[in-house]
Structure 1
Amino acid sequence: MDSDKALAVYVDFENVALGLKDLPGPDFDVELVIERLLEKGRILVKNAYCDWHRYQDSRRPLHEAGFVLVEIPHARWSGKNSADIRMVVDALDLCNTRPHIDTFALITGDSDFTPLVGKLREYGKRVIGIGVRNSSSKLLIESCDDFWYYDELAKGKAEDEPAPDKSEKPDGKPSRNRMFKRLAGTAHSMIDDRGEAVWASHVKQVFKRKQPNFSEGYFGYAGFSELLEDGASRGFLEIEKDKASGGYRILSARTRGR
């Protein structure tokens, strides 16, 4: 299954930061990218490359997201391609020493990484590129198995961002509606990727990967099937029961419900 893959994520941070510099909106949101990648599989390696003395404010969110921050001296001291070279060396080393890593996500728009993409694919690895639309090389885009525009991910998140939930519990616990909005967002993305309905058990697996503390019992449901049925009654999910297995498939999902 596509979402059972083992991933390694490499961030050419300065390339992304410069690409976003002239665009409206917040700075680079690493959690947005990680959440999308978790739909593809388990992330086992996270490295981010930059002269971090120049981006002090960006260190904390990356560190909190579990990234190893690899220090790259500024180009004035080490040459323009220092981050490129270090990323290439680390990625190829991982490719050869960790054969179970089958998908590489390269967060950059720099055409200098095109040969790396070609070599990784030559070794049978799947490569996902992620970059800012106006600063991503066409050569790099066309060399990847899949390429996502960061600005489109951010736009999609803003459009799907739930309005303040008046049913939010006063004790700080998230409401059922907010949970369904997040679950429906995951299901919608998976259905969109595959172009077909997905098994509810598979959606739960991916959702748990995003939110390890998720439990249907926490929200008062006896099981996941009961949760799905309630989600359907609220308009978040369209489900279908498989007669042979008794399990549910999710046919469509909406983040706003009824």
Structure 2
Amino acid sequence: MVSPRLVAKIEAEEPTLRLAVLIDADNAQAAVIEGLLAEIARFGEATVKRIYGDFTAPTSASWKKVLQKYAIKPVQQFAYTTGKNATDSTLIIDAMDLLYTRKFDGFCLITSDSDFTGLAMRLREEGLTVLGFGEKKTPEAFRNACHKFLFTEVLRPSATNEPTAQPQKAENDHPPPQSQSPAETAEVKQEFPKKFVLAALEQSSDDTGWAHLGTFGSYLTKLQPDFDSRIYGYKKLSDLVKAKTEIFITEERQAPGSTQKVLYLRAK
């Protein structure tokens, strides 16, 4: 079940959670760090930022370039034995030490490794919010162990470009525009799960069939922690439901006691 604090954050405008950000350098890409930290800022304040890995290895060169810029504390972990991942153990031990300080509302685990599934479950048992960030290859077990899981592919700069900018690359080419899209953008695109979304809408709607967008979004996350409108080409959930006119009917209503309008939707 999604933490009430996370639901409150999704619907609120300002960050409310004190977060510990723990990065597995062996299973995360430095290219997404700017988008990653911006995404984390939507949920709360990154009070602690640590990254774990062997920074003497050539594979960690890309991380060494961004650690100082983003004030991320590196935790050096040498590979003592071939085939054994000492980085995972160090990250888990640190996470438990931070947990028992009782200073944090939640943890951000940046990894594509299923070995952290048990850690995510343990943190949830303590009533803390667990946000996971990883690539599409991340096993389903870890994704579902988090309150919310976000694919790092959508955080790459090329994945957030406006679609109108893509055809410029294909001006002198004859293949369809789809073949000209950046690799990262193509990698995250999925078939829209119409059946699942309509089932979630039915469960989150009132007796008249209408659902508040925030309630609908929260229910989607409860059922599928890795649901993200950006995977389907829309920056926000509101953009997605407004664009899918063949599936949804949308209506903006005046919020009680406010001049702001809120979005409601129902199945067409």
Corresponding residue of 1:182:
none
Helix, strand or coil for the counterpart of 1:46? strand
Q: Does residue 153 of structure 2 align to residue 151 of structure 1? A: yes
**Counterpart contact for 2:18–2:44, Cα < 8 Å:** yes
Q: Which runs of 4+ in 1 moved over 2 A?
A: 74-77, 152-163, 191-196, 239-246, 248-252
Helix, strand or coil for the counterpart of 1:65? coil
Corresponding residue of 2:51:
48
Helix, strand or coil for the counterpart of 1:43? strand
Q: Which AA in structure 2 matches 1:146? A: K
| Alpha-carbon separation, structure 1, partners of 2:151 and 2:161 | 16
The 5-angstrom pairing of residues 54-93 of structure 1 reads 54=57, 55-76=60-81, 80-93=84-97
Q: Structure 1 residue 156: deviation in Å? A: 7.3
Helix, strand or coil for the counterpart of 1:100? coil
**Counterpart contact for 1:63–1:69, Cα < 8 Å:** no
The 5-angstrom pairing of residues 215-226 of structure 1 reads none
Helix, strand or coil for the counterpart of 1:101? coil
| Alpha-carbon separation, structure 2, partners of 1:123 and 1:48 | 23
Q: Does residue 9 of structure 2 align to residue 6 of structure 1? A: no
Corresponding residue of 2:105:
102
Helix, strand or coil for the counterpart of 2:49? strand
| Alpha-carbon separation, structure 2, partners of 1:127 and 1:140 | 11
Which of 124, 139, 142 is the aligned partner of 1:140? 142
Counting aligned pairs with the same residue, the percent is: 27
* Cα gap change, 1:41 to 1:160, in 2 (>3 Å): farther
C-alpha RMSD of the superposition: 3.1
**Counterpart contact for 2:108–2:131, Cα < 8 Å:** yes
TM-score, normalization by structure 1: 0.57
Corresponding residue of 2:190:
none
* Cα gap change, 1:195 to 1:61, in 2 (>3 Å): farther
Offset from partner CA, 1:194-229 (integer Å, 9 cap, x none): 658xxxxxxxxxxxxxxxxxxxxxxxxxxxxxxxxx
Q: Structure 1 residue 242: deviation in Å? A: 6.3
| Alpha-carbon separation, structure 2, partners of 1:58 and 1:16 | 9
Structure 2: stretches of 5+ with no match in the other structure: 1-7, 10-14, 166-211, 218-251
The 5-angstrom pairing of residues 15-26 of structure 1 reads 15-17=27-29
Structure 1: stretches of 5+ with no match in the other structure: 18-26, 164-190, 197-238, 253-258
Q: Structure 1 residue 74: deviation in Å? A: 2.5
Aligned length: 171
Q: Structure 1 residue 95: deviation in Å? A: 0.7
Q: Which AA in structure 1 matches 2:148? A: D
* Cα gap change, 1:146 to 1:80, in 2 (>3 Å): same
* Cα gap change, 1:193 to 1:36, in 2 (>3 Å): farther
Offset from partner CA, 1:40-99 (integer Å, 9 cap, x none): 01110100011112223321212211110111112547x6221111111111111111x2
Q: Structure 1 residue 15: deviation in Å? A: 1.1
Which of 114, 117, 130 is the aligned partner of 2:117? 114
**Counterpart contact for 1:15–1:110, Cα < 8 Å:** yes
| Alpha-carbon separation, structure 2, partners of 1:38 and 1:129 | 14
| Alpha-carbon separation, structure 2, partners of 1:83 and 1:128 | 20
**Counterpart contact for 2:154–2:160, Cα < 8 Å:** no
